[in-house]
Amino acid sequence: MFLLLAAMDSEPRLTEKEIDLCSRLEHGMLTDMGRVIVLKLKDLDVAQVVSGLEVRAKQWEDTASYLRTGELPSEFFIAEECRDTEEAESIARDYRSILRKIERQVNRQRGKARQGNGEIPRQARG
C-alpha cells in the first residue's frame, strides 16, 4: 500500500484518520497489508515526482514496443535492461499503477481543499 499526502497549503495538516493511520504504521499494526510509506509533499514536489514516473513509464513502454517490433521508438532510444517483452510491459504497468494512485490521492485532496474554502490553492490548479 502506498499513501501520498500532497500538501495543499504552506502548513500541511493531516486529518485524524491520517494521523491514526500513521500512528498504526509506526507501531507495526498494519503489517498484514504490506508496508505503507506516507509522504508529505508540497504539490509542486508531487508534480516533479509524477513527471519522473511518467518518463520511466514511457521508457519501459518504449522498451516493450521495441522488443515486440524491433523498431526504434525514437532516434536516441536506449532500451531498458530486462528479460523479455512481458517483463518490460509489467514494469511499465507498475509505473502506470503508481501514477494512478498518486492521481487519485491528489484529486481527493483537491476535492477537500475545494470543500474547505471554495477555492483551490493556486499551486494546485491544473
Beta strands in the chain (DSSP E): 2-7, 37-42
pLDDT digits (tens, 9 = 90+) for 21-54: 666 655 555 555 567 788 889 989 999 999 999 9
What is the C-alpha to C-alpha distance for residues 10 and 5, in angstroms, rounded to an integer? 13
Tell me the pTM. Answer: 0.65
Mean of all residue pLDDT scores within the chain = 79
Burial of 44 (0-12, 13-18, 19+ CB in 10 A): exposed
| pLDDT at residue 82 tops 60 | yes
* Three-state DSSP string of 46-61: HHHHHHHHHHHHHHHH
Q: What are the structural domain ranges in the chain?
A: 2-124
What is the C-alpha to C-alpha distance for residues 102 and 106, in angstroms, rounded to an integer? 6
Residue 63's pLDDT is what? 98
Residue 45's pLDDT is what? 95
Helix (H, G, I), strand (E, B) or coil at 124: helix
From residue 54, how far is each of 58, 92, 114 by CA, in Å? 6, 10, 27
Query: Residue 37 forms beta bridges with which residues?
Result: 2
More confident residue, 92 or 40: 92
Ranking 21-30, 55-64, 78-87, 89-98 by mean pLDDT, the lowest is 21-30
